Chains A and B, each alone.
Chain A
Amino acid sequence: MIAIIDYGINNLDSVENALDKLGAPSIVTNDATTIQSADVLILPGVGAACEGMKNLKKLNLDKVIISEVNKGKPILGICLGMQLLLSKSEEGDVDCLDLIKGSVNKFDSKNKIPQIGWNNVSFNDANRASNLKAGIPNNSYFYFVHSYYCIPTDANISLGITSYGLDYCSIFAKNNIVGVQFHPEKSGAVGFQLLKNVINYFN
């Protein structure tokens, strides 16, 4: 069972709909026991990092997530959910879950902010989580909506790189932790393939 973590500010149904189509059983939940008994966690998210962390803390889910992931439970962070996996975010200057060392910075204002639309992801062949790329052509387009981007301290965990004024990490994978900056559940066929790959990778 995949637990899609509901912390109040998300469009959760689209992730659930996508998993339904893939035939992967999932539940939208903010209940600690359900999260603890799930096989895989998905931390989705749109909105602001400070609001997101505030809501996770209010529900006491920050500690639950950290403890489960540290025990080895797989987690996929999507968009804001990816950013919250890092140590801290510039958005509201907030401490995040610190499951991946690194920070989250704002795009330079010489770009339009937010970045909204389809951008391509080029794969970093050095990353060993290569089964995440199965069936996805290099430089495929995914749907992005964000103003901030992740800078993992260990650049080797980057699996996908995207360019928007600068090159940044759009997919990272480190053992049981995967983060994607785009919305795979809104990225057509390649997005569904990626979700499928993540589920396979975690199994």
Chain B
Amino acid sequence: MLTKRIIPCLDMTEGKVVKGIQFVNFRDAGDPVELAKKYDDQGADELVFLDITATVDNRNILLDVVKRTAKEVTIPFTVGGGIRTKKDMQLVLRAGADKVGVNTGAFKRPSLISECAQSFGTQCVVLSLDAKRIGNQWNVIINGGQTDTGMPAIEWAQRAVKLGAGEILLTSIDADGMRQGFDIALTKAVTKVVNVPIIASGGAGKLADFKDIFIEGKADAALAASLFHFGELTIKDVKKYLTDHNILVRS
């Protein structure tokens, strides 16, 4: 049986891991390759690296981190941030990433998804979707949490999957860094309309949040950052808790 996945996320800028709250107020959380190794040893199922500033200068630093990580870790990892062209994606894959996250670049030019899916396979293309509740719906927010596109998240998720996104990394900006639990309603709404795996992200604060997002939110994977970086919970703690609650995880 396929297990539920626990994925630590490493938000990076200038080669360092940082963590913010609702996409601002970032604090330093350490060296990415060291952290990646630690999470691999702890039994993480995958890793996600997001280059949150994604400038041209940072790109080379990011590729270097990707290369070093690929040599050190024995589990798959996704890299995102500033991907605008097929060439960008190819560089990241060549450096050793298994999957690439597309966000603003894909929203502005959706054919990026189909081009990459055709060349590298749908399983390489992760739609990174940042959503925020506006009135009675969730909108897609781009540019690192700064621009409300006005498009419903559900609509963009469906369209991106049709274009060839093989997985969705769904982040709730409302929940991000708040540690009040994942956004179950948002996750459920998206899992209902697409047939690809969903990684729920934003808001993990305690063990029960992971159980809830799998059982109620129907997520396939759960992502967390600060909780793991600052050592409040380990991957092992989360997996033991889930096993005790009859949720299948790799142990």
Residues of A in contact with B (beta carbons under 8 Å apart): 9, 11, 13-14, 17-18, 20, 46-48, 51, 80, 109, 112-120, 141, 143-147, 163-164, 183, 185-189, 191-192
Give the contact-size bracket for chain B.
20 to 34
The 6 closest A-B pairs by CB, nearest first: A47-B121, A118-B250, A141-B250, A145-B123, A186-B76, A13-B96
Asked if B74 contacts A191 (CB within 8 A), the reply is yes
Chain A residues whose CB sits within 8 angstroms of the CB of B3 once the complex forms: 117-119, 141
Asked if A118 contacts B123 (CB within 8 A), the reply is no
Asked if B74 contacts A115 (CB within 8 A), the reply is no
Asked if B121 contacts A186 (CB within 8 A), the reply is no
Cα-based distance from A112 to B93 in the complex (angstroms):
24
The residues in B between 67 and 121 inclusive whose CB is less than 8 angstroms from any CB of A are 70-71, 74-76, 93-98, 118-121
Asked if A115 contacts B2 (CB within 8 A), the reply is yes
27 pairs of residues in contact across A and B, judged by CB atoms under 8 Å: A9-B121, A14-B96, A17-B70, A18-B74, A47-B120, A47-B121, A47-B124, A109-B195, A112-B220, A114-B122, A114-B196, A116-B123, A116-B197, A117-B3, A117-B4, A117-B5, A117-B197, A117-B221, A119-B1, A119-B2, A141-B3, A141-B250, A147-B122, A186-B74, A186-B75, A186-B98, A188-B40
Asked if A192 contacts B93 (CB within 8 A), the reply is no
Asked if B5 contacts A118 (CB within 8 A), the reply is yes
Residues of B in contact with A (beta carbons under 8 Å apart): 1-5, 40, 45, 70-71, 74-76, 93-98, 118-124, 166-167, 195-197, 220-221, 250
A contact face: mostly helix, strand, loop, or mixed: mixed
Cα-based distance from A117 to B195 in the complex (angstroms):
15
Cα-based distance from A115 to B220 in the complex (angstroms):
10
Cα-based distance from A13 to B220 in the complex (angstroms):
27
B170: min CB distance to chain A, Å: 14
Give the residue among B4, B74, B124, B166 with the most A Cβ atoms within 10 A.
B74
Cα-based distance from A163 to B2 in the complex (angstroms):
8
Chain B residues whose CB sits within 8 angstroms of the CB of A185 once the complex forms: 74
Cα-based distance from A95 to B98 in the complex (angstroms):
27
Cα-based distance from A117 to B207 in the complex (angstroms):
21
Asked if A192 contacts B45 (CB within 8 A), the reply is no
A91: min CB distance to chain B, Å: 10
Cα-based distance from A187 to B46 in the complex (angstroms):
10
Q: Which residue of A lies closest to B71 (CB)?
A: A17
Cα-based distance from A13 to B82 in the complex (angstroms):
23
Asked if B123 contacts A146 (CB within 8 A), the reply is yes
